[in-house]
Homo-oligomer: A and B are copies of this chain.
């Protein structure tokens, strides 16, 4: 069916070695033969088979990207950005969704091994490192993104969630808030801890004591969970004047929950989200949120991947900063001493 290197060689009256070298520019071939070969390639619509090429050269130019979900706008955008960056280097991406499920993650990683990917980029679904270590031991470069697993000596690109959360809380404190609610994700992940650390540290540094009523964990990952969480928070501590949510969608739910409870945002309760998803700039009020620095992450991932491919021992750990995007959902509290 489709033409192979043999067909091209025959058509161009040269050896298959010459065709290979013309295609890959891997040794000098006289202009005459180059012309004949290219003409034959054109005529036969020949496309080299990268996979079988990799059989000997040990490169398939495929990279695996494993993440919880690409239908989430943030991860979707990250996947797209990484994909475009890698395309320029001739790599294509095999994308696998794990839904934060370890079984699915293992199955995805197994598939990627069988597909002989050159490297794997993963947003780990859990702290379980077993399979990831197996990949590493196979000699496949594997890069952790957004969530780290400590002490297994792997390249990691994360966001400095501690600092960004600290900044966000501090911004609220500077605006006169002290009863600041925190809505945490349903399941603990590596960055949950860092975010909480930042929250607590900012309060402590400002001499504000920690009120356990101001902390709540969502039941799930949807909008509605944000509604429910904020209403519990308000019930537990009616004096709350600000809320920080671990995720913009949760923040959206929180706003709804606040409004449904008869309060307004930001006049009664200020809200800060996290991720800077596209819709947050379109809300009324426009949401103040912590940026998820997609481009910086993608750039770092590409850089580390390429270097790891050149040098199997290359390891780099990078923390990028998530800036606070100040918009309209935070004001000074009505009854603040600052007023």
Contact = CB atoms under 8 A, between A and B. Distances in A.
A96 to B, nearest CB: 7
Contacts of A45: 134, 138
B80 A71 contact: yes
Contacts of A134: 45
Interface stretch (A6-14, A28-36, A109-117, A231-239): A109-117
B139 A2 contact: yes
A110 B92 CA distance: 11
Interface stretch (A54-62, A148-156, A212-220): A54-62
A260 to B, nearest CB: 10
Interface in A134-176: 134, 138-139
Listed residue (A77, A134, A253) with the most chain B CB atoms within 10 angstroms of its CB: A77
Interface of A: 1-2, 45, 47-52, 54-55, 60, 62, 69-73, 76-77, 79-80, 83-84, 87, 92-97, 107, 110-116, 134, 138-139, 223, 252-253, 256, 259, 278-279, 281-282, 284
Given A51-B52, A69-B80, 11 more contacts: A45-B138, A49-B116, A52-B52, A62-B94, A73-B73, A87-B107, A94-B94, A94-B95, A223-B282, A256-B282, A259-B284
